[in-house]
């Protein structure tokens, strides 16, 4: 079984934000929520790098660990998903997440945050695959159609890679060997390396 991961080769990212836009469009993500974003480190200085970041689908995910109603689950592909039917909108996952992935639509009065929304790795949710109910809550289920996440698929510089962790890590390492530099596999240490199973 594949262990799905994202890898952003920051030396290739041109901060075009197409991944952000494609994601919003593919899943009709609610207003005010960005499942993916591009952050530019050292902006305007020599050696600035842009990193496209979303949910990293961590091993032993912190969101799942702190959820008071245990609404998270990990699929056989290693994708971390959640059930919006069980989510109570408490915000705990948002406190625990190292990548700022879980976000809340601002609905109703003060504390009544809506159901949490986050990147699904284009793998939908607990509903039956590719149903209207699944689409309404989580967006498209590309994985069920045998496709990779739209953000990585349409990345023009192939900076953002998605797929089995071992394969995309190999691709990145080859690139670094060939060109002689690389600013790192952003987020991998935080998302996967703390766990013995990777």
Partner 1 sequence: MPSSLSTHKVSVARALCAAFALLFVLAQPAAAQLSFNPTAESVHEDQLLKALKEGDKITGRISIPDAMAASLIQPAGRDWRDFQRSKMPIIGGITIIGMLAVLLIFLAVRGRIRIHQGWAGTKILRFASFERFTHWLTASCFIVLALSGLNISFGRILILPLFGPQAFSTLSAYGKLAHNYLAFPFMLGLVIMFLIWVKDNIPGKIDLEWFKQGGGLLTNGKHPPSPRFNAGQKGIFWVVILGGAVMSVSGWFELFPYLPGDVTTMQIWTVIHAVMAMLLIAAMMAHIYIGSIGMEGAFDAMGTGEVDLNWAKEHHSLWVQEELAKGTVPAADTPRAVPAE
Q: Which residues bind partner 1 (CB under 8 A)?
A: 11, 15, 17, 20, 32, 34, 37-43, 45-51, 53, 62, 65-71, 83, 85-92, 94-100, 110-113, 180-181, 183-187, 189-190, 194
Nearest to 93 by CA among 115, 112, 65: 65
The residue (of 98 and 198) whose beta carbon lies closer to partner 1 is 98
Nearer to partner 1, 2 or 16 (CB): 16
Cα–Cα dist 187/7, whole Å: 8
Which residue lies nearer to partner 1 by CB, 25 or 112? 112
Residue closer to partner 1 (CB basis): 89 or 144: 89
CA distances to 1, 51, 191, 194 from 187, rounded to whole Å, are: 22, 10, 6, 11
Q: Would you say 44 or 132 has its CB closer to partner 1?
A: 44
Q: In whole angstroms, what is the distance from residue 29 CA to residue 197 CA?
A: 32
Two tokens, residue 169: 């890590």
Minimum distance of partner 1 from residue 186's CB (angstroms)? 5
Q: Which two structure tokens, joined as six digits, stand for 74? A: 């990990």
Smallest distance, partner 1 to C-beta of residue 44, A: 8
Nearest approach, Cβ of residue 163 and partner 1 (Å)? 20
Smallest gap from Cβ 146 to partner 1, in A, equals 30
H or E element at residue 4:
strand 4-8
Q: How far apart are CA 48 and CA 3, in angstroms?
A: 30
CB of 190 to partner 1, least distance (A): 6
Which residues are within 8 A (CB) of 195 and not within 5 positions of it... i.e. 6 or more apart? 58, 59, 60
């Amino acid at each position: 079984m594949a262990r799905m991961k994202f890898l952003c080769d920051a030396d290739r990212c041109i901060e075009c934000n197409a991944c952000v836009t494609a994601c919003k469009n593919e899943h009709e993500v609610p207003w005010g929520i960005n499942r993916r974003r591009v952050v530019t480190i050292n902006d305007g200085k020599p050696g600035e790098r842009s990193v496209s970041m979303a949910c990293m689908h961590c091993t032993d995910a912190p969101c799942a660990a702190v959820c008071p109603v245990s609404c998270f689950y990990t699929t056989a592909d290693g994708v971390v998903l959640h059930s919006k039917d069980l989510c109570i909108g408490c915000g705990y996952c948002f406190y625990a997440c190292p990548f700022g992935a879980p976000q809340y639509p601002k609905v109703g009065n003060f504390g009544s945050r809506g159901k949490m929304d986050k990147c699904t790795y284009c793998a939908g949710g607990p509903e039956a695959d590719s149903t209207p109910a699944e689409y309404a809550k989580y967006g498209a289920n590309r994985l069920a159609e045998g496709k990779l996440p739209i953000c990585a698929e349409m990345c023009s510089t192939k900076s953002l890679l998605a797929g089995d962790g071992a394969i995309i890590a190999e691709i990145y390492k080859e690139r670094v060997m060939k060109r002689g530099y690389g600013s790192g596999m952003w987020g991998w240490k935080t998302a996967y390396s703390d766990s013995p199973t990777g």
